[in-house]
Structure 1
Amino acid sequence: MASRDVLQELFVTGLKNAHAVEKQALSIMTPQVTRIENYPEVADRLRLHIEETNGQIARLDEILAEFDSSGSALKDMGLSMSGSMAALAHTVAGDEIVKNSFANYAFEHFEIAAYKSLLVMAEDGGFARAMPLLKQSLGEEEAMARWIDEHLPVVTRRYATLYAEGGSAKAKV
């Protein structure tokens, strides 16, 4: 197994990466929620997850502070910009709400994997104080992924119905 110093270096890098990914998540979800019209349950859940994501960023800041570190402004900015571009790309699609659901589902699983990896490093490196905070964030990501999974049939059917009726099937016109 790697030395504690190496694990700490990897752990801090992983925390900075997770911080940037959470900033990216905000840049993806925030524009989505403003465009949702015919899917109020999706908008409500995204608003809740935006609050959770802000909490996750605060928890990552707290853990990083214990290592006399902070999030990487460059990584945060870079991933936030790429998240904004991804959100913008879907706005031109007629099936924006469905594409956003696919992307959000995949993104949640990316975050789940990141937190699981951080938990392994925390355990192996003896960074026990970080574990409850990381587990809380992991639980929130898993809950969001489950919610998307459970609601994808509803969103898909509503999209198809609105499309068939000639109404606005987009998230918002």
Structure 2
Amino acid sequence: MTYPKDDLQRALRDAYAMERYAERLLRNHATKSAPYPEVKARIEVRLTETLANQKSLASCLTRIEGSDAILQTLTDDFAAAIETSNVAQTSDEAVKNLISLYAFNDQEIASYSSLIAIAEASGFFETKLACEAIVLQQIAMADWILDRLPAATKAYLGRGASPGES
């Protein structure tokens, strides 16, 4: 039998690992987006949010577990499960990078939606609020990417503005 607190701890550890992976992914995409200043700037904003989210999740885990020792032993198993670790190197790189970021954001949104329900069921409402704030950031980033995909695709085809414009 599992207990809600145990489920919450596992979900928080997974979310922390996901945010660590997101950090690496965003750093990689920011580097690849140098020719597109608006895209690079937005990715860097998301990276800053991701680093803050790591701290928020660490605080949630510390509050629940009473120590931060667990954070020193977390592995990035989540990263191994994702195939998007290699950023595209093709001529349609900007489009593929935005698509991979969008797909990863959708996965994060789903994960945090579940985590919010677990936190609420466990009675850890501060954790629920922290995760709700994070999911709102994820949704904003996904919307931003989705708004720019048509322009990025047209730019790749040579018919439109740069990927940063909408």
TM-score bucket of the superposed structures, by smaller chain: 0.7 to 0.9
Alignment of 1:60 onto 2:61: no
Matches of 1:89 and 1:124, distance apart in 2: 37
Match of 1:149 in 2: 146
How far apart, in 2, do the equivalents of 1:148 and 1:72 lie? 33
Letter in 2 for 1:71: L
Unaligned stretches of 5+ in structure 2? none
Deviation for aligned residue 1:95? 1.4
Q: With structure 1 as the length reference, what TM-score do the two structures score?
A: 0.81
The yes-or-no answer on 1:104 pairing with 2:101 is: yes
Contact 1:24 1:81 in 2 (8 A): no
Task: Give the percent of matched residue pairs that are identical in Structure 1 and Structure 2.
Answer: 28
TM-score, normalised to structure 2, is 0.84
Amino acid at match of 1:126: G
| Structure 1 residue 35 displacement after superposition | 2.0
CA distance in 1, matches of 2:33, 2:98: 12
Match of 1:49 in 2: 46
Deviation at 1:39, TM superposition (A): 1.8
Out of 127, 131, 136, which is 1:134 matched to? 131
Question: What does residue range 1-173 of structure 1 map to in structure 2 within 5 Å?
Answer: 6-68=3-65, 70-71=70-71, 73-76=73-76, 78-80=77-79, 86-91=84-89, 93-161=90-158
Q: Contact 1:21/1:79 (CA < 8 Å) preserved in 2?
A: yes
Query: 1:89/1:52 Cα in 2 relative to 1: closer, same or farther (>3 Å)?
Result: closer
Q: How far apart are 1:81 and its partner, in Å? A: 6.5
The CA deviation string for residues 47-104 of structure 1, in whole angstroms up to 9 with x for no partner, is 000000001111100000012253364532x445777x8443513x221111111111
Pairwise CA distance, 1:37? 3.4
Give RMSD over aligned pairs.
2.4
| Matches of 2:14 and 2:20, distance apart in 1 | 10
Go from structure 1 to structure 2 and tell me whether the alpha carbon gap of 1:81 and 1:72 turns closer, same or farther (over 3 Å shift): farther
- Pick 1 or 2: higher relative contact order, CA cutoff 8 A, min separation 6: 1
